[in-house]
Amino acid sequence: MRTILLGPQRFTIRATSALRSLGTEGPVGVVTAGWEEREDATGELDEALDHRSIHFRLYHRLNDVLAKDETFAAAAVRHRDRQDELTALYRLRLEHTLDGVYAVQRRIPAHPARARRSLALAAFHDAVAGVRRIDDWFLGQMAVLEAELADAGGIERSGVIGWHREELKSDLARCSALVIPGGNVNTLVRVLRLFAIVIPQELPVLAWSAGAMALTERIALFHDFGPAGSREAELLSRGVGRVRGVVAFPHPRRRLRLDDRERSSALALRFDPARCLLLDDGAWVEFGADGALPADARILGTDGLVHTEEVAG
């Protein structure tokens, strides 16, 4: 199993070299559903992929299902409303709990020896455990909503969805590799799940930005420099789990306050033992057959500093 996660491709294009490094021949499956309405604007991407693309057009297929399957369309609207309600409650709980985390963290003595003996340090770790419990609660509730959608929407009984799934299974079987670019990660993971895209272990995969996030076990949304100010990192859903033990953070220099050591420490500790993988422009992180994170991968340590996996490990 070879999986390559790249940094964003807008300013530093490495997709061509990464694809050629796989040493594969034949068609390359491409999932651009994260681009939504721009899904078919693939001229530059096709050129970067040596014109070997088979486009799965999952966003187009989703709209086809919504237009032709009234049962699923109605269930999808109810699911969206329920998800919005759940997300609002999750954010409310998360923000109040993280305020407490940061307040306790500021009470930890600066001197390392004193910090290790401090009650504040123990309180800080317990407070972070509280954030983890909220994250777990949210993912559990999301799983319930997804099961309700599958049942009420008749996903396994839908002739339209079944037709698309069979065609996609046939297309995937012809591919020598799979490429998943970025875009809207919520849309991307939604259609991967709807159309039951199961990536064979032996099929090489190349992904970046939202595509890299979708391949992990848990997808975190984050933006410390958003237009409305800093927003706490929040989970979106579970990913497809091709890459394990990693939470992917594309654009970290532009989206994370990496100079704020206390905030960074709390973020890394929240997801520990999973590694917070930083995918900067130009990043190339290749996982081998054992699925281990390579030694030169840049991660955010629980000490709030950026390390390579070799040093942190």
Burial of 38 (0-12, 13-18, 19+ CB in 10 A): exposed
pLDDT in tens, 133-181: 999 999 999 999 999 999 999 999 999 999 999 999 999 999 999 999 9
Which pLDDT score, from 0 to 100, does residue 313 have?
60
pLDDT value at residue 312: 63
Name the residue with tokens 């990192």. 233
pLDDT bracket for residue 6 (50, 70, 90):
very high
Distances from the Cα of 95 to the Cαs of 46, 70, 279, in angstroms?
A: 42, 38, 26
Place of tokens 């930005």: 209
The SS3 call for residue 210 is: helix
pTM of the model: 0.93
Beta bridge partners of 38: none
Collapsing DSSP states into helix, strand and coil, what is residue 70? Answer: helix
| Residues 70-99: tens digit of each pLDDT | 999 999 999 999 999 999 999 999 999 999
Q: State the pLDDT confidence band at 103, using cuts at 50, 70 and 90.
A: very high
Q: Are 2 and 243 in contact (CB under 8 A)?
A: no
Reading across the β-sheet that carries 275-279, which strands appear in turn?
Answer: 246-250, 275-279, 298-300, 306-308
CATH classification for the domain delimited by 3-67+175-312, as one of 3.40.50.880, 3.40.1160.10, 3.40.50.300, 3.60.20.30: 3.40.50.880
Least confident of 135-139, 185-189, 215-219, 220-224: 220-224
- pLDDT for 311 equals 65
CB 233 within 8 A of CB 220: yes
For residue 161, which of 137, 195, 189, 128 has the smallest C-alpha distance? Answer: 195
Q: Over range 290-302, report the average pLDDT.
A: 92
CA atoms within 13 A on the CB side of 273: 4
Handedness of CA 45, 48, 50, 56 (dihedral sign): negative
Q: What angle do CA 120, 126, 132 make, to 5 degrees?
A: 140
The average pLDDT across 39-63 equals 95
Q: What string of DSSP letters covers 231-246?
A: EEEEEEEE---SS-SE
Q: Answer yes or no: are the C-beta atoms of 103 and 114 closer than 8 Å.
A: no
Contacts 24+ apart (CB under 8 A), 36-40: 36/183, 36/184, 36/187
**Residue at token pair 């917070």:** 276
